[in-house]
Amino acid sequence: MPRYLVRLIIIFVLGAVAVLAIRQFMVPASFYQLGHYRASVLPEVAAQEPVYAGHAACEECHGDVLEVKEKGRHTGLSCEVCHGAAATHAADPSSTKPFTELDRSFCLVCHEKNISRPAGFPMVDGLAHNIKEDCRKCHKPHSPSPNKGEEK
Ligand code: HEC
Ligand code: HEC
Ligand code: HEC
Ligand code: HEC
C-alpha cells in the first residue's frame, strides 16, 4: 500500500476515535432513552408551575364580567389574553392584581389594518381612527362594539 494512503487512513481513524470520545462526554445520559431528545427534560418541564390559570378559573369569581363578555364581540377572547398570566391572582386574589392598563397600541396588536387578517375581521387604521384618543373612551373592553358602549 502506498505510504500516503496509510497516513490518510491513520488520520481518519484518529478522527473517528476523537468523535466517539467527544460524543461520550457531550451527549447527556438520557439522550435516546425515549427518542431523539433528552428524556430527563420531561420531569424538569412537568415540575414548572403554570403561570396561566385558564378561563374557567376566572369565571368562578368574575361571573359579572363573563356575563357582559359573552354577549359582546370579545366573547372568544380568553381573559388572560388581555390581563396577562394571572395564576397567582386566581390562587390568592389579594396577592397580585392582573394587568389592566391597555393603551391604543395593545388593542391595535389585533385590530390594526393588515391584509393578512381574515376577511371581515374588524380592523381600523390606527393612524386615522380617532387618533390620540384612548380606545376605551368609546369601546368597553369586555363588550367593545360602540353601540354597546353603555355596558362594561
Ligand atoms: C378566588 C376568586 C378570584 C379568582 C379565581 C380570580 N379573581 Fe380576579 N379578582 C378577585 C377579587 C376579590 C378582586 C378585587 C381585588 C381588589 O380590588 O383588591 C379581583 C380583581 C381583578 C381585576 C381588577 C384588578 C384591578 O386592578 O382593579 C382583574 C382585571 C381580575 N381580577 C382578573 C382576573 C382574571 C383574568 C382571573 C382569571 C385568571 C381572575 N381575576 C381570577 C377575585 C378573583
Ligand atoms: C380585550 C381585552 C380584555 C379581555 C378579553 C378581558 N378584559 Fe377585563 N379588562 C380589560 C381592561 C382594559 C380593563 C380596565 C377597565 C377599563 O379600562 O374599562 C378590564 C377590567 C377588568 C376588571 C376590573 C373591574 C371592571 O369590571 O372594570 C375585572 C375584574 C376584569 N377586567 C376581569 C376580566 C375577566 C374575568 C375576563 C374574562 C372573562 C376579562 N376581564 C376579559 C380588558 C379585557
Ligand atoms: C387578542 C386579540 C384582540 C385584542 C387584544 C383586542 N381585540 Fe377586539 N376583537 C378581537 C376579536 C377576535 C373580535 C371579534 C371579531 C369577530 O367577531 O369576527 C374583536 C372585536 C372587536 C370589536 C367589534 C367591532 C364591531 O364591529 O362590533 C371592537 C370595536 C374591538 N374588538 C375593539 C377592541 C379594543 C378597543 C381593544 C383594546 C381594549 C381590543 N379590541 C383588543 C380580538 C382582539
Ligand atoms: C371617539 C370614539 C372612538 C375611539 C377613541 C375609538 N373608536 Fe373604534 N369605533 C368608534 C365608532 C363610532 C365605530 C363604528 C363606526 C366606524 O366604523 O367608524 C368604531 C369602530 C371600530 C371597529 C370596527 C371596525 C369594523 O370594520 O367593524 C374597531 C375594530 C375599532 N373601532 C377599534 C378601535 C381601536 C382599536 C381603538 C383605539 C386604537 C378605537 N377603536 C378607538 C369609535 C371610537
pLDDT digits (tens, 9 = 90+) for 67-94: 999 999 999 999 999 999 999 999 999 9
Same domain, 23 and 66: no
The per-residue pLDDT for range 101-149, each reduced to its tens digit, is 889 999 999 999 999 999 999 999 999 999 989 999 999 999 998 864 4
> Given this model, what pLDDT does residue 147 score?
61
Exposed e or buried b for every residue in 83-92, given b needs 16+ CB within 10 A? beebeebbee
**What's the pLDDT tens digit per position in 41-76?**
999 999 999 999 999 999 999 999 999 999 999 999
Q: Tell whether ligand 4 has an atom less than 6 A from the beta carbon of residue 122.
A: yes
Of ligand 4's listed atoms, the one at least distance from the Cα of 126 is: 38
My answer on whether 41 and 83 are in the same domain is no
The C-alpha cell that represents 22 in the structure block: 467527544
Q: Does 85 share its domain with 103?
A: yes
Distant-in-sequence, close-in-space partners of 146: CB < 8 Å, separation ≥ 6: 138, 139
How much is the pTM?
0.87
Q: Tell me the C-alpha distance between 88 and 97, whole Å.
A: 9
Quote the domain boundaries for residue 80.
Answer: 55-148
Note whether 33 and 66 are same-domain residues.
no
Find out whether the beta carbon of 138 lies less than 6 Å from any atom of ligand 4: yes
Coil/strand/helix, residue 87 = helix
The alpha carbon of 140 and the centre of ligand 2 are apart by a number of angstroms equal to 9
